[in-house]
Amino acid sequence: MARKNIGYLQLIDPERLPRHIAIIMDGNGRWAKRKMMPRTMGHRAGMKSLKEVVKACSDLGVPVLTVYAFSTENWKRPIQEVDYLMNLLIEYLHKELAELNENNVHINMLGDYDPLPERCQHEINEAVMLTRNNTGLMFNIALNYGSRKEILRVINILAKKVMLGELQPEDINENVISSHLYTAGLPDPDLLIRTAGEMRISNFLLWQIAYTELYVADCMWPDFTREELYKAILVYQKRDRRFGAIGKNRQDDTNV
């Protein structure tokens, strides 16, 4: 008798889920190019993957999901593509907000979205306000986000506090810095997923991912499904996380 195929979901240990999954959603443009389509169609296809992954994390009970939606460097792209991305964000929030709210998802933004078009800011504020009391998945959208700028922002805030006598330089430690980041109060990512086979961090959560497990998926973001997410979580659950100490199965190790 042939053995029944077991999906990745059935192999996941629900007691060892990542507390925080971060995703660099890469490959939309290349996906579209391979299909002889405009780059914008790749971004639209990627929106469907985002909806599926958010739902999957919510269903699994993952506490926090952070996605890299638009970086501070993405302003360098052609103006037509930037405009399309802004409009796509508005469309996503407008269409999905009711369902996200019904599923108890708490929407949060990481980054400086003041430079964004007014319509974008309106949709963002509405989404954040409507879902602010939800207790399910914390869904962080990193928008106009760059980790170096985030860290520089914290340095400026702390420098002003020192100048005003509100803080002593010797009192500045890792916890103080973490408490002033956009992710203040959240656990650091346990798992960082990047799609499209690229081996780069791309200025994403540099402080927060000091001991994050990295997983690179070969597929482009529009092809990233629930099963791909489950596969990444399974790989994560097989890792021996040492945080600088000696691993359980690696007694000969002396370094991180």
Q: Can you give the pLDDT at residue 242?
A: 73
> What are the catalytic residues?
26, 74
Q: How far apart are CA 87 and CA 44, in angstroms?
A: 11
Q: Can you give the pLDDT at residue 4?
A: 47
> Helix, strand, coil % (nearest 5) of the chain?
45, 15, 40
Q: How far is CA 221 from CA 51, 110, 145, 164, 249, in A?
A: 12, 21, 19, 46, 34
Task: Encode the chain (256 residues) as per-residue pLDDT tens digits.
Answer: 344 445 899 999 999 999 999 999 999 999 999 999 999 999 999 999 999 999 999 999 999 999 999 999 999 999 999 999 999 999 999 899 999 999 999 999 999 989 999 999 999 999 999 999 999 999 999 999 999 999 999 999 999 999 999 999 999 999 999 999 999 999 999 999 999 999 999 999 999 999 999 999 999 999 999 999 999 999 999 998 876 666 665 555 444 4
Q: Can you give the pLDDT at residue 1?
A: 39
Q: Can you give the pLDDT at residue 78?
A: 93
Q: How far is CA 174 from CA 62, 184, 237, in A?
A: 25, 12, 27
Strand order across the 64-71 sheet = 106-110, 138-145, 64-71, 20-24, 191-194, 213-216
Contacts of 170 (CB under 8 A, 6+ apart): none
Tell which CATH classification among 3.40.1180.10, 2.60.40.10, 2.170.270.10, 3.40.50.720 matches the domain 15-146+188-237: 3.40.1180.10
Inter-residue contact 92 to 166 (CB < 8 Å): no
Residue 122, sorted as left (phi over 0), alpha (psi -120 to 50) or beta, turns out to be: alpha
Domain boundaries, the chain: 15-146+188-237
Contacts of 167 (CB under 8 A, 6+ apart): 158, 161, 176
Q: Can you give the pLDDT at residue 248?
A: 62
Query: Tokens standing for 7?
Result: 């999906």
Q: Can you give the pLDDT at residue 244?
A: 65
